[in-house]
Amino acid sequence: MANPLRSEVIKLYKHLLYLGKDYPKGATYFKERLKCSFMKNKDVTDPEKIKALVKRGDFVIKELEALYYLRKYRTMKHRYYDDKHDK
């Protein structure tokens, strides 16, 4: 089971797990889904396929970061700027 991509997949999992702590629906909700989606592909052995999946994971990381930023930005805008009825 010593796949050379193993460490990369674990790194991705850890990174996503860390990002999930701030997930709006809660860390537990995120964790369950994260585990499910990793387990779904546990039998994939083709290195090309694994690489593609890791790439997809990286994309999800980007999406999550964007989601958190937007959520924060919107809250701040709502709190400090929207009162003036922005155009």
User: Closest Cα to residue 34, out of 18, 51, 55?
Assistant: 18
Report phi then psi at 28, rounded to 5: -65, -45
Number of residues forming the site for other proteins (CB under 8 A): 17
CB of 45 to other proteins, least distance (A): 27
The C-alpha atoms of residue 87 and residue 67 are separated, in whole angstroms, by 24
Tokens of 50: 């694994």
- String of contacts with other proteins for each residue 51-80, x by CB under 8 A: --------------x--xx-xxx-xxx-xx
Among 5, 8, 13, 15, binds other proteins (CB under 8 A): 15
The C-alpha atoms of residue 45 and residue 74 are separated, in whole angstroms, by 42
First to last CA, the chain: 59
CB of 75 to other proteins, least distance (A): 6
| Span 18-57, contacts to other proteins by CB under 8 A | 18-19, 24
Residues interacting with other proteins, by CB under 8 A? 14-15, 18-19, 24, 65, 68-69, 71-73, 75-77, 79-81
